Structure 1
Amino acid sequence: MHVDDAILSRKSVRRFLPEPVSLETVEHLLKVAGRAPSGSNIQPWRVHVVGGRARERLSDAIMAAFDAGTADHRPEYHYYPEHWFEPYLGRRRRCGYGLYESLGIQRDDKQKRLEQMRRNYLFFDAPVGMIVTIDRRLEAGSYMDTGMLIQSILVAARGQGLHTCAQAAFAWYHDIIREQLGLDDNELVLCGIALGHEDPEAPENHFITEREPIEAFTTFHGFV
Protein backbone atom coordinates (compact mmCIF):
# COMPACT_ATOMS: atom_id res chain seq x y z
CA MET A 1 0.00 0.00 0.00
CA HIS A 2 1.35 3.42 -0.94
CA VAL A 3 2.00 5.57 2.11
CA ASP A 4 -0.52 8.16 0.89
CA ASP A 5 -3.21 5.48 0.70
CA ALA A 6 -2.31 4.17 4.14
CA ILE A 7 -2.64 7.63 5.69
CA LEU A 8 -5.81 8.56 3.81
CA SER A 9 -7.54 5.24 4.60
CA ARG A 10 -6.66 5.35 8.28
CA LYS A 11 -9.66 6.00 10.50
CA SER A 12 -10.81 5.28 14.03
CA VAL A 13 -12.51 1.89 13.89
CA ARG A 14 -14.84 1.23 16.80
CA ARG A 15 -15.99 -2.29 16.05
CA PHE A 16 -13.70 -5.13 15.02
CA LEU A 17 -14.20 -8.65 13.75
CA PRO A 18 -13.11 -11.62 15.91
CA GLU A 19 -10.55 -12.60 13.26
CA PRO A 20 -7.17 -13.02 14.99
CA VAL A 21 -4.00 -11.07 14.27
CA SER A 22 -0.78 -13.09 14.42
CA LEU A 23 2.08 -12.24 16.74
CA GLU A 24 4.37 -12.09 13.69
CA THR A 25 2.18 -9.39 12.14
CA VAL A 26 2.20 -7.32 15.32
CA GLU A 27 5.97 -7.68 15.63
CA HIS A 28 6.40 -6.59 12.01
CA LEU A 29 4.34 -3.41 12.29
CA LEU A 30 6.07 -2.46 15.55
CA LYS A 31 9.48 -2.92 13.91
CA VAL A 32 8.35 -0.60 11.13
CA ALA A 33 6.79 1.93 13.53
CA GLY A 34 9.89 1.80 15.70
CA ARG A 35 11.65 3.81 13.00
CA ALA A 36 9.64 6.86 14.14
CA PRO A 37 11.91 9.84 14.81
CA SER A 38 12.75 11.13 18.27
CA GLY A 39 14.97 13.93 19.54
CA SER A 40 18.58 12.68 19.74
CA ASN A 41 17.11 9.22 19.03
CA ILE A 42 16.23 8.68 22.70
CA GLN A 43 13.09 6.67 21.76
CA PRO A 44 11.14 7.58 24.91
CA TRP A 45 8.27 5.13 24.39
CA ARG A 46 7.24 1.67 25.50
CA VAL A 47 4.43 -0.46 24.05
CA HIS A 48 2.66 -3.20 26.02
CA VAL A 49 0.79 -5.58 23.71
CA VAL A 50 -2.09 -7.61 25.13
CA GLY A 51 -4.03 -10.44 23.55
CA GLY A 52 -6.01 -13.49 24.61
CA ARG A 53 -6.59 -13.86 28.32
CA ALA A 54 -4.28 -10.95 29.17
CA ARG A 55 -6.46 -8.60 27.14
CA GLU A 56 -9.61 -10.03 28.71
CA ARG A 57 -8.26 -9.64 32.25
CA LEU A 58 -7.25 -6.04 31.61
CA SER A 59 -10.61 -5.20 30.06
CA ASP A 60 -12.53 -6.90 32.86
CA ALA A 61 -10.62 -5.01 35.55
CA ILE A 62 -11.11 -1.62 33.90
CA MET A 63 -14.79 -2.18 33.11
CA ALA A 64 -15.43 -3.19 36.73
CA ALA A 65 -13.93 0.13 37.84
CA PHE A 66 -15.87 2.01 35.16
CA ASP A 67 -19.14 0.45 36.29
CA ALA A 68 -18.36 1.38 39.89
CA GLY A 69 -17.93 5.04 38.93
CA THR A 70 -15.13 7.15 37.50
CA ALA A 71 -14.76 9.75 40.26
CA ASP A 72 -11.52 8.25 41.58
CA HIS A 73 -9.89 7.81 38.17
CA ARG A 74 -8.02 10.57 36.39
CA PRO A 75 -5.19 10.56 33.84
CA GLU A 76 -1.73 11.66 34.89
CA TYR A 77 -1.57 14.31 32.22
CA HIS A 78 -3.98 16.82 30.68
CA TYR A 79 -5.15 15.67 27.27
CA TYR A 80 -7.79 18.37 26.80
CA PRO A 81 -7.95 21.98 28.02
CA GLU A 82 -9.86 22.70 31.21
CA HIS A 83 -11.87 25.37 29.41
CA TRP A 84 -12.80 24.82 25.76
CA PHE A 85 -12.81 27.56 23.14
CA GLU A 86 -13.28 27.89 19.39
CA PRO A 87 -12.52 26.54 16.89
CA TYR A 88 -11.69 23.42 18.93
CA LEU A 89 -14.95 23.19 20.83
CA GLY A 90 -16.98 23.15 17.62
CA ARG A 91 -14.76 20.50 16.06
CA ARG A 92 -15.02 18.31 19.13
CA ARG A 93 -18.80 18.60 19.22
CA ARG A 94 -19.14 17.76 15.53
CA CYS A 95 -17.03 14.65 16.05
CA GLY A 96 -19.00 13.46 19.08
CA TYR A 97 -22.41 14.26 17.64
CA GLY A 98 -21.51 12.60 14.35
CA LEU A 99 -20.41 9.39 16.03
CA TYR A 100 -23.53 9.14 18.19
CA GLU A 101 -25.75 9.94 15.21
CA SER A 102 -24.18 7.06 13.26
CA LEU A 103 -25.12 4.77 16.14
CA GLY A 104 -28.63 6.15 16.48
CA ILE A 105 -27.88 7.54 19.96
CA GLN A 106 -29.72 10.71 20.89
CA ARG A 107 -27.70 13.53 22.43
CA ASP A 108 -29.65 13.34 25.70
CA ASP A 109 -29.43 9.54 26.03
CA LYS A 110 -26.75 9.42 28.71
CA GLN A 111 -27.09 5.68 29.31
CA LYS A 112 -26.37 4.70 25.73
CA ARG A 113 -23.54 7.20 25.54
CA LEU A 114 -22.02 5.59 28.63
CA GLU A 115 -22.43 2.16 27.08
CA GLN A 116 -20.58 3.31 23.98
CA MET A 117 -17.85 4.85 26.13
CA ARG A 118 -17.54 1.57 28.01
CA ARG A 119 -16.73 -0.24 24.77
CA ASN A 120 -13.39 1.56 24.74
CA TYR A 121 -12.24 -0.80 27.46
CA LEU A 122 -13.06 -3.84 25.34
CA PHE A 123 -10.68 -2.37 22.75
CA PHE A 124 -13.89 -2.28 20.67
CA ASP A 125 -13.68 -6.10 20.41
CA ALA A 126 -10.28 -5.98 18.69
CA PRO A 127 -8.20 -9.13 19.27
CA VAL A 128 -5.07 -7.10 20.03
CA GLY A 129 -4.68 -4.16 22.35
CA MET A 130 -1.69 -1.94 23.01
CA ILE A 131 -0.89 0.34 25.90
CA VAL A 132 1.59 3.09 25.06
CA THR A 133 3.63 4.63 27.86
CA ILE A 134 6.31 7.29 28.18
CA ASP A 135 8.99 7.83 30.81
CA ARG A 136 7.43 10.42 33.12
CA ARG A 137 10.82 12.02 33.82
CA LEU A 138 11.01 13.37 30.26
CA GLU A 139 9.62 16.61 28.88
CA ALA A 140 7.20 17.88 26.22
CA GLY A 141 9.44 17.03 23.28
CA SER A 142 9.20 13.35 24.14
CA TYR A 143 5.42 13.55 24.01
CA MET A 144 5.77 14.75 20.42
CA ASP A 145 8.17 11.90 19.73
CA THR A 146 5.75 9.33 21.11
CA GLY A 147 2.94 10.83 19.08
CA MET A 148 5.01 10.10 15.97
CA LEU A 149 5.42 6.50 17.12
CA ILE A 150 1.65 6.19 17.62
CA GLN A 151 0.91 7.58 14.15
CA SER A 152 3.52 5.23 12.69
CA ILE A 153 1.78 2.26 14.34
CA LEU A 154 -1.58 3.33 12.89
CA VAL A 155 -0.16 3.74 9.40
CA ALA A 156 1.93 0.55 9.53
CA ALA A 157 -1.23 -1.32 10.51
CA ARG A 158 -2.91 -0.14 7.32
CA GLY A 159 0.07 -1.52 5.41
CA GLN A 160 -0.87 -4.93 6.82
CA GLY A 161 -4.53 -4.49 5.86
CA LEU A 162 -5.51 -3.83 9.47
CA HIS A 163 -7.31 -0.99 11.24
CA THR A 164 -6.84 0.71 14.57
CA CYS A 165 -8.30 3.09 17.09
CA ALA A 166 -6.09 5.25 19.28
CA GLN A 167 -7.75 5.53 22.69
CA ALA A 168 -6.80 8.18 25.23
CA ALA A 169 -9.63 6.79 27.40
CA PHE A 170 -7.23 4.22 28.84
CA ALA A 171 -5.18 6.95 30.52
CA TRP A 172 -7.97 7.39 33.09
CA TYR A 173 -7.28 3.89 34.44
CA HIS A 174 -3.50 4.02 34.66
CA ASP A 175 -3.51 2.59 38.19
CA ILE A 176 -5.34 -0.55 37.07
CA ILE A 177 -3.17 -0.87 33.97
CA ARG A 178 -0.05 -0.50 36.12
CA GLU A 179 -1.19 -3.33 38.38
CA GLN A 180 -2.35 -5.61 35.57
CA LEU A 181 0.72 -5.19 33.37
CA GLY A 182 3.36 -4.64 36.03
CA LEU A 183 4.46 -1.26 34.71
CA ASP A 184 7.60 0.40 35.96
CA ASP A 185 6.91 3.33 38.32
CA ASN A 186 8.38 5.74 35.77
CA GLU A 187 5.98 4.66 33.01
CA LEU A 188 3.17 7.13 32.42
CA VAL A 189 0.18 5.70 30.53
CA LEU A 190 -0.54 7.82 27.46
CA CYS A 191 -3.15 5.83 25.56
CA GLY A 192 -4.34 2.50 24.27
CA ILE A 193 -4.55 1.29 20.69
CA ALA A 194 -7.07 -1.25 19.39
CA LEU A 195 -5.75 -3.34 16.49
CA GLY A 196 -7.57 -5.79 14.25
CA HIS A 197 -9.81 -6.28 11.24
CA GLU A 198 -12.61 -3.74 10.71
CA ASP A 199 -16.21 -4.89 10.89
CA PRO A 200 -17.43 -3.34 7.62
CA GLU A 201 -21.08 -3.77 8.61
CA ALA A 202 -20.82 -1.68 11.78
CA PRO A 203 -22.47 1.74 11.25
CA GLU A 204 -19.97 3.52 13.49
CA ASN A 205 -17.19 2.47 11.12
CA HIS A 206 -18.85 4.42 8.32
CA PHE A 207 -18.50 7.66 10.27
CA ILE A 208 -15.52 9.54 8.84
CA THR A 209 -14.43 12.75 10.53
CA GLU A 210 -13.94 15.84 8.41
CA ARG A 211 -10.63 17.64 8.00
CA GLU A 212 -9.86 21.31 7.56
CA PRO A 213 -8.49 22.38 4.16
CA ILE A 214 -4.79 23.21 4.15
CA GLU A 215 -5.67 26.90 3.77
CA ALA A 216 -7.13 26.79 7.28
CA PHE A 217 -3.95 25.64 8.99
CA THR A 218 -1.07 26.57 6.66
CA THR A 219 0.73 29.84 5.98
CA PHE A 220 3.21 29.87 3.10
CA HIS A 221 6.18 32.23 3.30
CA GLY A 222 8.47 33.10 0.41
CA PHE A 223 6.48 31.41 -2.36
CA VAL A 224 5.41 33.31 -5.47
Structure 2
Amino acid sequence: MHVDEAIRSRKSVRRFLPTPIPTSVVHHILDVAARAPSGNNVQPWRVYAVAGEARQRLCDAIVHAATHEADRHLPEYAYYPTTWVEPYLERRRRCGFGLYASLGIGRDDMAARERQMLRNYLFFDAPVGLIVTLDRRLNTGSFMDLGMFIENILIAARAQGLHTCAQAAFAWFHKVARTQLPIGDHEILACGIALGHEDLSAPENAFITERAEVDAFASFHGF
Protein backbone atom coordinates (compact mmCIF):
# COMPACT_ATOMS: atom_id res chain seq x y z
CA MET A 1 0.00 0.00 0.00
CA HIS A 2 1.38 3.40 -1.00
CA VAL A 3 1.97 5.62 2.01
CA ASP A 4 -0.51 8.21 0.67
CA GLU A 5 -3.23 5.57 0.49
CA ALA A 6 -2.40 4.31 3.97
CA ILE A 7 -2.68 7.83 5.40
CA ARG A 8 -5.84 8.77 3.52
CA SER A 9 -7.61 5.50 4.34
CA ARG A 10 -6.74 5.62 8.03
CA LYS A 11 -9.75 6.34 10.20
CA SER A 12 -10.98 5.68 13.73
CA VAL A 13 -12.78 2.34 13.56
CA ARG A 14 -15.22 1.75 16.40
CA ARG A 15 -16.35 -1.78 15.71
CA PHE A 16 -14.01 -4.61 14.80
CA LEU A 17 -14.33 -8.21 13.71
CA PRO A 18 -13.09 -10.90 16.13
CA THR A 19 -10.59 -12.22 13.55
CA PRO A 20 -7.32 -12.92 15.41
CA ILE A 21 -4.18 -10.99 14.48
CA PRO A 22 -0.96 -13.06 14.47
CA THR A 23 1.69 -11.98 16.94
CA SER A 24 4.14 -11.67 14.05
CA VAL A 25 1.95 -9.00 12.42
CA VAL A 26 1.70 -6.96 15.64
CA HIS A 27 5.46 -7.27 16.09
CA HIS A 28 6.05 -6.11 12.51
CA ILE A 29 3.79 -3.07 12.94
CA LEU A 30 5.65 -2.02 16.08
CA ASP A 31 9.01 -2.64 14.44
CA VAL A 32 8.09 -0.33 11.56
CA ALA A 33 6.56 2.26 13.91
CA ALA A 34 9.77 2.38 15.95
CA ARG A 35 11.42 4.22 13.05
CA ALA A 36 9.57 7.34 14.26
CA PRO A 37 11.86 10.30 14.93
CA SER A 38 12.53 11.47 18.47
CA GLY A 39 14.71 14.20 19.93
CA ASN A 40 18.26 12.85 20.26
CA ASN A 41 16.79 9.42 19.40
CA VAL A 42 15.63 8.90 22.99
CA GLN A 43 12.63 6.77 21.85
CA PRO A 44 10.54 7.58 24.94
CA TRP A 45 7.73 5.08 24.35
CA ARG A 46 6.71 1.68 25.63
CA VAL A 47 3.90 -0.55 24.36
CA TYR A 48 1.96 -3.28 26.16
CA ALA A 49 0.16 -5.46 23.62
CA VAL A 50 -2.74 -7.54 24.91
CA ALA A 51 -4.83 -10.26 23.31
CA GLY A 52 -6.85 -13.26 24.47
CA GLU A 53 -7.31 -13.65 28.22
CA ALA A 54 -4.93 -10.82 29.08
CA ARG A 55 -6.97 -8.44 26.96
CA GLN A 56 -10.22 -9.65 28.52
CA ARG A 57 -8.94 -9.23 32.08
CA LEU A 58 -7.81 -5.68 31.33
CA CYS A 59 -11.11 -4.79 29.67
CA ASP A 60 -13.19 -6.29 32.47
CA ALA A 61 -11.23 -4.42 35.14
CA ILE A 62 -11.52 -1.06 33.40
CA VAL A 63 -15.20 -1.45 32.54
CA HIS A 64 -15.89 -2.27 36.20
CA ALA A 65 -13.99 0.83 37.32
CA ALA A 66 -15.72 3.02 34.73
CA THR A 67 -19.17 1.88 35.82
CA HIS A 68 -18.65 1.74 39.60
CA GLU A 69 -15.96 4.25 40.54
CA ALA A 70 -15.36 6.56 37.58
CA ASP A 71 -15.10 9.66 39.77
CA ARG A 72 -12.00 8.20 41.43
CA HIS A 73 -10.02 8.10 38.20
CA LEU A 74 -8.23 10.93 36.44
CA PRO A 75 -5.57 11.00 33.72
CA GLU A 76 -2.01 12.02 34.51
CA TYR A 77 -1.96 14.68 31.81
CA ALA A 78 -4.48 17.15 30.41
CA TYR A 79 -5.58 16.01 26.96
CA TYR A 80 -8.39 18.52 26.40
CA PRO A 81 -8.49 22.25 27.25
CA THR A 82 -10.46 23.48 30.24
CA THR A 83 -12.05 26.12 27.98
CA TRP A 84 -12.83 25.42 24.33
CA VAL A 85 -12.39 28.12 21.69
CA GLU A 86 -13.13 28.22 17.97
CA PRO A 87 -12.56 26.64 15.55
CA TYR A 88 -11.85 23.67 17.83
CA LEU A 89 -15.17 23.74 19.65
CA GLU A 90 -17.19 23.49 16.44
CA ARG A 91 -14.97 20.71 15.09
CA ARG A 92 -15.40 18.78 18.31
CA ARG A 93 -19.16 19.19 18.17
CA ARG A 94 -19.39 18.06 14.55
CA CYS A 95 -17.32 15.00 15.37
CA GLY A 96 -19.45 14.01 18.35
CA PHE A 97 -22.79 14.75 16.71
CA GLY A 98 -21.78 12.92 13.54
CA LEU A 99 -20.66 9.81 15.38
CA TYR A 100 -23.79 9.55 17.51
CA ALA A 101 -26.02 10.29 14.53
CA SER A 102 -24.42 7.39 12.64
CA LEU A 103 -25.36 5.15 15.58
CA GLY A 104 -28.89 6.54 15.82
CA ILE A 105 -28.19 7.93 19.29
CA GLY A 106 -30.04 11.15 20.11
CA ARG A 107 -28.34 14.09 21.77
CA ASP A 108 -30.37 13.63 24.94
CA ASP A 109 -30.03 9.84 25.15
CA MET A 110 -27.40 9.83 27.87
CA ALA A 111 -27.76 6.12 28.62
CA ALA A 112 -26.97 5.17 25.02
CA ARG A 113 -24.07 7.62 24.96
CA GLU A 114 -22.68 6.05 28.12
CA ARG A 115 -22.95 2.55 26.63
CA GLN A 116 -21.07 3.71 23.55
CA MET A 117 -18.40 5.36 25.69
CA LEU A 118 -17.86 2.14 27.62
CA ARG A 119 -17.11 0.35 24.35
CA ASN A 120 -13.80 2.21 24.38
CA TYR A 121 -12.71 -0.06 27.20
CA LEU A 122 -13.46 -3.15 25.11
CA PHE A 123 -11.15 -1.83 22.40
CA PHE A 124 -14.35 -1.71 20.33
CA ASP A 125 -14.16 -5.53 20.16
CA ALA A 126 -10.76 -5.50 18.46
CA PRO A 127 -8.81 -8.71 19.18
CA VAL A 128 -5.63 -6.76 19.97
CA GLY A 129 -5.23 -3.79 22.27
CA LEU A 130 -2.12 -1.68 22.69
CA ILE A 131 -1.43 0.38 25.78
CA VAL A 132 1.11 3.10 25.01
CA THR A 133 3.11 4.87 27.71
CA LEU A 134 5.58 7.74 27.93
CA ASP A 135 8.44 8.13 30.39
CA ARG A 136 7.38 10.89 32.80
CA ARG A 137 11.01 11.75 33.58
CA LEU A 138 11.29 13.41 30.17
CA ASN A 139 9.68 16.68 29.09
CA THR A 140 6.99 18.17 26.85
CA GLY A 141 8.93 17.62 23.64
CA SER A 142 8.70 13.87 24.17
CA PHE A 143 4.94 14.12 23.69
CA MET A 144 5.69 15.16 20.11
CA ASP A 145 7.96 12.13 19.75
CA LEU A 146 5.23 9.89 21.13
CA GLY A 147 2.65 11.35 18.75
CA MET A 148 4.83 10.53 15.76
CA PHE A 149 5.32 7.00 17.04
CA ILE A 150 1.58 6.51 17.54
CA GLU A 151 0.85 7.80 14.04
CA ASN A 152 3.41 5.36 12.66
CA ILE A 153 1.53 2.52 14.37
CA LEU A 154 -1.74 3.59 12.75
CA ILE A 155 -0.19 3.89 9.28
CA ALA A 156 1.83 0.68 9.55
CA ALA A 157 -1.38 -1.12 10.52
CA ARG A 158 -3.09 0.14 7.36
CA ALA A 159 -0.19 -1.19 5.31
CA GLN A 160 -1.08 -4.61 6.73
CA GLY A 161 -4.74 -4.18 5.74
CA LEU A 162 -5.77 -3.51 9.33
CA HIS A 163 -7.52 -0.63 11.06
CA THR A 164 -7.09 1.09 14.40
CA CYS A 165 -8.60 3.51 16.86
CA ALA A 166 -6.34 5.63 19.05
CA GLN A 167 -8.07 6.02 22.42
CA ALA A 168 -7.07 8.63 24.98
CA ALA A 169 -9.98 7.33 27.09
CA PHE A 170 -7.66 4.71 28.59
CA ALA A 171 -5.53 7.43 30.20
CA TRP A 172 -8.22 7.94 32.86
CA PHE A 173 -7.77 4.37 34.11
CA HIS A 174 -4.00 4.13 34.42
CA LYS A 175 -4.30 2.88 38.00
CA VAL A 176 -6.43 -0.05 36.86
CA ALA A 177 -4.09 -0.82 33.96
CA ARG A 178 -1.19 -0.98 36.41
CA THR A 179 -2.91 -3.83 38.25
CA GLN A 180 -3.02 -5.82 35.02
CA LEU A 181 0.23 -4.87 33.29
CA PRO A 182 3.83 -4.26 34.44
CA ILE A 183 3.67 -0.51 33.86
CA GLY A 184 6.44 1.23 35.79
CA ASP A 185 5.88 4.11 38.17
CA HIS A 186 7.91 6.33 35.85
CA GLU A 187 5.49 5.74 32.96
CA ILE A 188 2.46 7.84 32.00
CA LEU A 189 -0.33 5.90 30.31
CA ALA A 190 -0.83 8.06 27.22
CA CYS A 191 -3.47 6.10 25.31
CA GLY A 192 -4.76 2.79 24.12
CA ILE A 193 -4.99 1.63 20.51
CA ALA A 194 -7.52 -0.86 19.17
CA LEU A 195 -6.10 -2.99 16.36
CA GLY A 196 -7.91 -5.40 14.06
CA HIS A 197 -10.11 -5.88 11.01
CA GLU A 198 -12.88 -3.35 10.42
CA ASP A 199 -16.48 -4.55 10.68
CA LEU A 200 -17.75 -3.19 7.37
CA SER A 201 -21.39 -3.67 8.44
CA ALA A 202 -21.09 -1.25 11.37
CA PRO A 203 -22.73 2.13 10.64
CA GLU A 204 -20.31 3.97 12.91
CA ASN A 205 -17.43 2.89 10.70
CA ALA A 206 -18.97 4.70 7.74
CA PHE A 207 -18.64 8.00 9.62
CA ILE A 208 -15.57 9.83 8.32
CA THR A 209 -14.49 13.13 9.84
CA GLU A 210 -13.64 15.96 7.47
CA ARG A 211 -10.33 17.80 7.32
CA ALA A 212 -9.59 21.46 6.77
CA GLU A 213 -8.20 22.44 3.37
CA VAL A 214 -4.48 23.19 3.26
CA ASP A 215 -5.04 26.92 2.72
CA ALA A 216 -6.98 27.04 5.99
CA PHE A 217 -3.98 26.07 8.11
CA ALA A 218 -0.89 26.78 6.01
CA SER A 219 0.67 29.83 4.38
CA PHE A 220 3.43 29.79 1.80
CA HIS A 221 6.28 32.32 1.68
CA GLY A 222 8.97 32.80 -0.93
CA PHE A 223 7.65 30.17 -3.36
- Specify the TM-score bucket, using the shorter chain as the normaliser: over 0.9
For residues 90-144 of structure 1, give each alpha carbon's deviation from its aligned partner in whole angstroms, at most 9, with x where no partner exists.
0000000000000000001000000000000000000000000000011111000
Rounded Cα–Cα distance in structure 1 between residues aligned with 2:104 and 2:9: 24
Does 63-72 or 184-193 show the bigger shift? 63-72
Per the TM alignment, residue 221 of structure 1 is displaced from its structure 2 partner at its CA by 1.1
Equivalent residue number for residue 73 of structure 2: 73
Equivalent residue number for residue 49 of structure 2: 49
Rounded Cα–Cα distance in structure 1 between residues aligned with 2:160 and 2:149: 17
Q: Percent identity?
A: 66
For residues 54-112 of structure 1, give each alpha carbon's deviation from its aligned partner in whole angstroms, at most 9, with x where no partner exists.
00000000000111141111100000000111110000000000000000000010000
Answer yes or no: is 1:150 the counterpart of 2:150.
yes
Rounded Cα–Cα distance in structure 2 between residues aligned with 1:211 and 1:98: 14
| 4+ long deviations beyond 4 Å | none
Instruction: For structure 2, list consecutive stretches of 5 or more residues without a partner in the other structure.
Output: none
* 1:158-177 equivalences in 2 (<5 Å): 158-177=158-177
Rounded Cα–Cα distance in structure 2 between residues aligned with 1:32 and 1:85: 36
Per the TM alignment, residue 182 of structure 1 is displaced from its structure 2 partner at its CA by 2.0
- Alignment TM-score, normalising by the size of structure 2: 0.99
* 1:66-145 equivalences in 2 (<5 Å): 66-145=66-145
Query: 1:149 is paired with a residue of what secondary structure?
Result: helix
Rounded Cα–Cα distance in structure 2 between residues aligned with 1:172 and 1:26: 25
* Pairwise CA RMSD: 0.5
Equivalent residue number for residue 62 of structure 2: 62
- Alignment TM-score, normalising by the size of structure 1: 0.99
Query: 2:193 is paired with a residue of what secondary structure?
Result: strand
Rounded Cα–Cα distance in structure 2 between residues aligned with 1:203 and 1:222: 46
Rounded Cα–Cα distance in structure 2 between residues aligned with 1:134 and 1:49: 15
Per the TM alignment, residue 158 of structure 1 is displaced from its structure 2 partner at its CA by 0.3
Query: 1:124 is paired with a residue of what secondary structure?
Result: helix
Aligned length: 223
Rounded Cα–Cα distance in structure 2 between residues aligned with 1:10 and 1:54: 27
